[in-house]
Structure 1
Amino acid sequence: MAEQVKGPASYFPSIEKKYGRPVEEWFALIREHGVEKHMETVAWLKTEHGLGHGHANALVAHVRAQP
């Protein structure tokens, strides 16, 4: 039985399905956008790319958690 994915990664399949792009592309966009405060980046994804709040938050949280 597969282990259930938890945390921000649990949103990734629905993000890919809803927005038609692999999460790796979203991660790259976030990194290219530059280092800002978490919620500023979430707001940017929502306004510029039409993501919902939960999806944007999950992507930003994942990228910011990386070393």
Structure 2
Amino acid sequence: MTDPATKGPASYFPSIEKKYGKPIAEWQALVRAALPAKHMELVAMLKEQHGMGHGHANAVVAYTLAEDGK
């Protein structure tokens, strides 16, 4: 989980894990498997194929791409 002082996309991680039942690492693996898709294509994939809300999907994608330097 994240520290209470966490800001930015990672601040959504506890609620994402609770709501969708998978650890963030699994969501990141899905995003990475869909590369080299563009940011909004990845967001759409999480929303359409996994029922994730826009804000949560955007947070996972933004954090994953930033972590990977993309």
Asked whether the two chains share a fold, i.e. TM above 0.5, the reply is: yes
Partner of 1:5: 6
In structure 1, what is the Cα distance between the partners aligned to 2:30 and 2:38?
15
Cα deviations by residue, 1:38-57 (Å, 9 ceiling, x for unpaired): 11110111000100000000
* TM-score normalized with structure 1 length: 0.92
Unaligned runs of at least 5 residues, structure 2:
none
Q: Which amino acid aligns with 1:39?
A: M
Give the aligned CA root-mean-square deviation in angstroms.
1.2
In structure 2, what is the Cα distance between the partners aligned to 1:46 and 1:23?
15
Partner of 1:31: 32
* TM-score normalized with structure 2 length: 0.88
Q: Which has the higher contact order (CA 8 A, sep 6+)?
A: 1
Larger radius of gyration: 1
Partner of 2:64: 63
1:50 aligns with 2:51: yes
Consecutive aligned runs of 4 or more in structure 1 exceeding 4 Å deviation: none
Pairs aligned (count): 66
